[in-house]
């Protein structure tokens, strides 16, 4: 029996992927960073049991694994174990197959302190194998038909995950800690025109008539396709190339909209949002404004609605 810690857990587990023996894994949660383990594995047959229903298995990883002929996948909604079996060796511990659990590169969070035990060639391994076979028998095969729902569950879970590095500004987080804001709905909203007088009147009517509206309100005119349940960094471009920061807004999941008639007889619309002082606790600083101006072309070349993560990726790649 050998004790495994965060320092050697991954190296010992990796050894099981490096030979041609069959490998059985019962691991509740899966992260994308471990894909290379499976793709480069010398194992001809890998049985992987996870808890796909939990929403904590990255469906983009599962989609990739389903295409590997050497990997069979099943799911069990009650699984919480972390077990690896191969030949006369078994590893039982606390680490999931994820970047956070196995201290891989690219994790947005500090790795947990993990602990496990490696058993070799004894009755315990035999008992663990019997347990695995029973769980495998009782579990359901994962197919591509299961992916659409889990993509949606994953997006919701990622969007609501705990935030770290809140002392950073929002642009610093985007440029230098992209994992922190990945899968969060934050956009640049870029426009050139001022609002019309008719839109201002419609907004005043909404503000006076609605009892469901609270906080400091704002609106966008003729822009109903702005994303809902999202944060917006509003930028107005001037006629002479200037850029003006119009504040931070949050568009609710079910925003109020109103239509009105313009002076030329055409129909206009407004979409109501809230003005906020920060985005998910991240500050918006003068330094942020300077960086946005410096790399403004990475926004204006992409369109009027630009995800913050897309802008940051473009800046970092120099594209």
Tokens 């790795």 map to which residue?
111
Residue 99: band (very low, low, confident or very high) from pLDDT cuts 50, 70, 90: low
Supply the CATH classification number for the domain 2-159: 3.30.870.10
pLDDT of the residue at 319: 72
Region of poorest pLDDT, from 3-7, 16-20, 35-39, 244-248: 3-7
**C-alpha torsion 55→41→113→75, nearest 10:** 30
| DSSP assignment letter at 163 | P
pLDDT of the residue at 108: 46
Proportion of the chain above pLDDT 90, given as a percent: 68
H helices of 139-196, in order, are 147-159, 170-176, 178-181
Please report, for the chain, the start and end positions of each structural domain, with discontinuous segments joined by +.
2-159, 170-317
List strands edge to edge, sheet with 46-50.
2-5, 115-120, 89-93, 82-86, 23-27, 46-50, 71-75, 140-141
Q: Residue 42: is it exposed, middle or buried by C-beta count within 10 angstroms (0-12/13-18/19+)?
A: exposed
Give the separation between CA 243 and CA 229, rounded to whole angstroms: 25
Q: What is the pTM of this model?
A: 0.60
100, pLDDT greater than 90: no
Residue 211: band (very low, low, confident or very high) from pLDDT cuts 50, 70, 90: low
- Which is higher by pLDDT, 164 or 121? 121
Report the pLDDT averaged over residues 143-148: 94
Tens digit of each residue's pLDDT (9 = 90 or more) over 263-302: 999 999 999 999 999 998 899 999 999 999 999 999 998 8
């Amino acid at each position: 029996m050998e004790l495994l810690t965060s320092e050697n857990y991954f190296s010992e587990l990796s050894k099981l992927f490096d030979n041609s023996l069959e490998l059985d894994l019962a691991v509740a949660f899966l992260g994308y960073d471990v894909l290379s383990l499976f793709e480069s594995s010398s194992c001809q047959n890998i049985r992987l049991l996870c808890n796909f229903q939990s929403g904590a298995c990255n469906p983009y990883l599962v989609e990739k694994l389903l295409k590997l002929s050497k990997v069979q996948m099943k799911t069990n909604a009650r699984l919480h174990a972390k077990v690896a079996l191969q030949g006369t060796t078994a590893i039982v511990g606390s680490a999931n197959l994820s970047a956070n659990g196995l201290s891989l590169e690219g994790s947005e969070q500090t790795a947990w302190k993990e602990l496990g035990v490696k058993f070799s060639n004894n009755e315990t391994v035999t008992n663990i194998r019997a347990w695995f076979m029973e769980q495998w028998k009782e579990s359901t095969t994962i197919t591509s038909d299961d992916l659409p729902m889990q993509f949606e569950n994953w997006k919701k879970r990622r969007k609501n995950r705990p935030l770290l590095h809140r002392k950073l500004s929002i642009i610093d987080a985007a440029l230098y800690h992209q994992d922190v804001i990945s899968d969060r709905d934050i956009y640049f909203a870029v426009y050139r025109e001022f609002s019309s007088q008719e839109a201002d009147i419609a907004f005043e009517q909404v503000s006076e008539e609605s009892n469901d509206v609270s906080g400091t309100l704002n609106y966008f005119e003729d822009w109903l396709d702005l994303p809902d349940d999202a944060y917006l960094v509003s930028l107005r471009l001037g006629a002479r190339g200037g850029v003006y920061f119009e504040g931070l807004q949050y568009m609710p999941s079910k925003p109020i909209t109103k239509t009105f008639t313009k002076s030329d007889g055409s129909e206009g619309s407004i979409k109501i949002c809230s003005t906020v002082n920060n985005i998910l606790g991240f500050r918006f600083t003068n330094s942020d404004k300077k960086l946005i101006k410096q790399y403004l072309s990475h926004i204006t070349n992409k369109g009027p609605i630009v995800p913050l993560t897309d802008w940051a990726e473009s800046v970092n790649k120099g594209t």
